[in-house]
């Protein structure tokens, strides 16, 4: 499934390709993020000495209000980012399988390829290694590079563009959360929303699946590999 919004921006002028990581470079139904999600709840419960149910409420509230639960825990409770990231990314990456077809499609894209993620470089490295596409990307801009300000904060995208000398007018952004495409679109980037395969079960909040018809979403696909193959 690939859909176009009204008057979508095209790709003929694109020389820089920017990808989110989780639920974008691997399918939603792998539910790898579900493991991270559970670890976040455990961290909050232990740190605040509250029940799992209470921690869940706080976790999702902070996620929506701050962009990441980590940012909420830092702001509200003085949590150290290093401690948080080290704990929540201790997950089993084995559900990820090599994806040589996607790697080949990314390799054929003309120009630079970068990753912009709210995760950590360590997590990125493990995911790319499992997918077999570690050599396809010039650089990773993670939550540490963003000075712990997660997407969709405007300053995060602006810092990314400055640090890597990216021209948004000739760039494309691939994301699984529509709200994280608002600022890129405003900056002039061509935007692609990667959504779950409708035939597979996924674990997501309802609000995470919203926004497919939003004006700041130029293209929608549930098959990133096929979409990229179609571009080349």
- The share of the chain scoring above pLDDT 90, in percent, equals 77
Of 57, 88, 119, the domain-final residue: 88
Query: What pLDDT, on the 0 to 100 scale, is given for residue 139?
Result: 97
Q: Is the pLDDT of residue 68 over 70?
A: yes
Burial label, 76 (beta-carbon count in 10 A; 0-12, 13-18, 19+): middle
Query: What pLDDT, on the 0 to 100 scale, is given for residue 207?
Result: 64
Q: Are residues 156 and 56 in the same domain?
A: no
Residue 22: partners with Cβ closer than 8 Å, 6 or more residues away:
32, 33, 36, 117, 119, 127, 176
Q: Are residues 215 and 135 in the same domain?
A: yes
- The dihedral through the CA atoms of 184, 31, 21, 223 has a sign that is negative
Q: Are residues 80 and 147 in the same domain?
A: no
- Domain holding 120: CATH number? 3.40.50.1000
Beta-bridge mates of residue 141: 116
What is the residue range of 77's domain? Answer: 33-88
Q: Are residues 66 and 178 in the same domain?
A: no
Q: Are residues 18 and 54 in the same domain?
A: no
Instruction: Give the DSSP per-residue string, 99-134.
Output: -HHHHHHHHHSSSEEEEE-SS-HHHHHHHHHHHT-G
Do residues 90 and 126 touch, judged by C-beta distance below 8 A?
Answer: no
Of 88, 112, 130, the domain-final residue: 88
Q: Are residues 13 and 119 in the same domain?
A: yes
- Cis check for the bond before 217: say yes or no (omega within 30 of 0): no
The CA distances from residue 118 to 137, 145, 150, in Å, are 17, 10, 6
Distance between first and last Cα of the chain: 17
Of 68, 88, 108, the domain-final residue: 88
pLDDT band at 186 (very low <50, low <70, confident <90, very high): very high
Per the structure, the count of domains in the chain is 2
Q: Are residues 188 and 225 in the same domain?
A: yes
Residue of 205 and 172 predicted with greater confidence: 172
Q: Are residues 83 and 127 in the same domain?
A: no
Q: How many Cβ atoms from other residues are within 10 Å of residue 123's Cβ? A: 24
Q: Are residues 62 and 119 in the same domain?
A: no
Q: Are residues 165 and 142 in the same domain?
A: yes
Q: Name the H helices within 67-213.
A: 69-77, 81-88, 100-108, 121-131, 154-163, 182-187
Q: Are residues 20 and 105 in the same domain?
A: yes
pLDDT band at 166 (very low <50, low <70, confident <90, very high): very high
Q: 148-160 pLDDT, tens per residue?
A: 999 999 999 999 9
3-state secondary structure of 83: helix
- Domain holding 44: CATH number? 1.10.150.450
Q: Are residues 57 and 167 in the same domain?
A: no
């Amino acid at each position: 499934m690939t859909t176009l919004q009204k008057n979508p921006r095209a790709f003929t002028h694109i020389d820089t390709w920017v990808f989110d990581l989780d639920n974008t470079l691997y399918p939603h139904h792998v539910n790898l993020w579900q493991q991270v999600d559970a670890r976040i709840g455990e961290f909050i419960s232990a740190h605040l000495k509250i029940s799992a149910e209470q921690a869940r409420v706080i976790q999702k509230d902070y996620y929506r209000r701050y962009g990441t639960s980590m940012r909420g825990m830092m702001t509200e409770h003085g949590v150290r980012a290093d401690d948080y990231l080290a704990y929540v990314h201790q997950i089993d990456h084995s559900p990820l399988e090599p994806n040589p077809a996607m790697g080949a499609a990314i390799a054929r894209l003309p120009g630079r390829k970068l990753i912009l993620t709210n995760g950590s470089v360590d997590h990125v490295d493990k995911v790319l290694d499992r997918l077999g596409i570690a050599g396809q990307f010039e650089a990773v801009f993670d939550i540490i590079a963003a000075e712990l300000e997660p997407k969709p904060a405007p300053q995060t995208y602006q810092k990314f563009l400055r640090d890597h000398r990216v021209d948004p007018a000739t760039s494309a952004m691939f994301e699984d959360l529509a709200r994280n495409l608002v600022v890129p679109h405003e900056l002039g980037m061509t935007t692609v929303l990667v959504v779950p395969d409708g035939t597979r079960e996924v674990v997501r909040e309802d609000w995470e699946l919203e926004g497919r018809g939003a004006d700041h979403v130029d293209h929608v696909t549930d098959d990133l590999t096929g979409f990229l193959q179609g571009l080349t």
